[in-house]
Every structure is written in structure tokens, then in C-alpha cells.
Amino acid sequence: MSTTLEPARAWLADQIRSRVVGDNPHEKAMQIFEAPGERWFADGSTIRLVHADASMFIGGLRALLMQSLHPLAMAGVAQHSDYRADPWGRLQRTADFMAITTFGTAEMAEAAVRRVQRVHRRVVGVASDGRPYDASDPHLLHWVHLAETDSFLAAYQRYGRRRLSAQQIDEYLDQSAVVAVELGVQQPPRSAAVLRAQLREFRPELRGTREARDAARFLLVEPPLPLAARPAYLGLAAAAVALMPAWTRWPLRLPLLPLSERFLVQPTGSAVTGLIRWSLAGSRAAPTASNEPGPRRTTHAAR
């Protein structure tokens, strides 16, 4: 690689790590990837392939937009989250959880699940429509899981290194269900057919609220980023919106522009994810499919 590009690569990598990983990214990575012990998932498993790819940046944005469509889930975020004051802190906690449960030891993964469950027990209240909510409710946990898995798969199939086969998609869902069950989700989807059916079942409960539209505007239009980083972020945001199902657009006041999305947004999304892969190549702090840790035993052979 030309040494003239190295400063730009280092700057971009630092921008990504500081927001996604937080302080001491290399130390955190060593703790997760190099710790001895059994893992929930084997090297080369589909969940590792998907969660290590740069397309997760797009999938994560789409997941947040999808999750906001459930009024009770969104009420919990609006009333208990400091996402406006500390959006990167929330992102880092989510990234830590996914990295630990996907790549860390089984002991670390179980501890991470317990931490999330303790937080969920404090997230209770009454939504603006008068209904009570509880973040520990298996039904709400189920919706969050559906939004995440559907979004991560959609982003990987469009912007990942290579498309997954039908068998790999089902494998990813089966492996993701391991984490979901530990968190308290009952009967998470373990195949693409079941994922589609469960998403359909939730649709009557979904709608765009003021809180959801405010969150979407913050995510897509008002990100707290330096000017130099905004073009790349806006490319990711546009790619996330373009992956949203048509029925989700109006409730969140998102545009539906098929031609622009196909001929402008998709190439931009591919370019930005490629740029992220390039900037983080060889970095343990933000793994890619090519730099997973060495062989580790798993707690269950099926994983």
C-alpha cells in the first residue's frame, strides 16, 4: 500500500474505533479474542462471518430504525436511554455485547448476558399511549431480536463480502437464537421461513410514533460527527434506509426512491463498506472475516 495513504487510513480507523469500541480498543480486543476458554461459536461459523463484516455498520442502523417501530420498545429507549447525550456510549455497549457473545469465551458471554438482563429489569414505565412496558418482556425482546437478525442478514446479503446460501442463512439464525434464548426470547426464528412469518405476525403492533420519528431523524440527519466523517456516515445511513421494507418508510417518514437507491445509494454503500474494511484491515479492535482468532473449542458441537 502506498505510504501516502497510511495517514488517511489511520485517521479513519481511529474515528471508527473511538466511536464503536471506545477507549483502549486494542486492550479490549485482546481480552475478547485471546482469552483462553470455550466459545459459544466455532471459528468459521456463519454468525462470526456476518458479525465480523463491515456491512454490520449498515445493518446496525437499519436494526435501530426497525426496532423503533414498536411503540413499547421505542418508549423504553426514549424514556431510559441517553442516546442523544451519549449516542456513542450506547453504540459501544451494543458492540461490546455482540463481540463478546460472538467471539469471547462462554464465561464472558454469560456474564455479558447477565449485565444486559440487569439493565433490562430497570427499564420499565408507561408509554405515551398509556400502555405499560417492561424491557424484560419476552415479547419485546423477541421483536428486538427479529429486527436485528433481519437487518444484519439484509445488510450482509447486499454489502457483505459474499452472499450467504440458504443453508448459511438458516445456520446464522440458529446460532443467533442461542444468544436470544439466553437473553429471554422464547422461540426465536431458526430459519428464514420462520423469520419472515414472525415478522408478519408483529406488523399489526408496529407504527411510527413521534419518538420513533425523532430517533430516526437523529440517526440519519443529526449524527454528532466531525464534518470530515459525515459524508461516509451519510452513505451508510442512506444504505440502511434503502434496505428498509417499503411498508416501514411512511411511518418513519423515510423516502422511497427506487431508482436513486439502486443507481446511487447501493454503489455508495458498497464503496463505504469497502472503505471501512480497508481502514480496519488487520485490526483486532474491529474484526473482519479475515482476522478472526485462532481455533477455539465451543461449548456445544452444533455451534
pTM, full prediction: 0.87
* 101-132 per-position pLDDT tens digit: 999 999 999 999 999 999 999 999 999 999 99
* 197-235 per-position pLDDT tens digit: 999 999 999 999 999 999 999 989 877 777 777 888 889
What mean pLDDT, rounded, does the chain reach? 87
Cβ proximity of 31 and 100 under 8 Å:
no
Q: How does 279-303 read in b/e, with b if 16+ C-beta sit within 10 Å?
A: bbeebbbbbbbeebbeebeebeeeb
The yes-or-no verdict on residue 287 having pLDDT over 70 is no
Say how many C-beta atoms besides its own lie within 10 A of residue 99's C-beta: 23
Cβ proximity of 167 and 100 under 8 Å:
no
Across the range 259-267, mean pLDDT stands at 92
- Round to whole Å and give the CA distance between 204 and 179: 26
- Round to whole Å and give the CA distance between 21 and 29: 9
Across the range 68-87, mean pLDDT stands at 86
**Phi then psi dihedrals of residue 124, to 5 deg:** -135, 155
Residue 86: the pLDDT is 67
- Round to whole Å and give the CA distance between 222 and 213: 13
In the chain, domain spans: 10-291
**CA of 48: how far to CAs of 23, 86, 116, 133, 218, in Å?**
23, 28, 21, 33, 30
Does an H or E element contain 243, and which?
Answer: none
Helix 138-159 to helix 230-242 angle (10° resolution) is: 110
- Round to whole Å and give the CA distance between 113 and 247: 33
- All three cell numbers of 60, joined, read 446496525
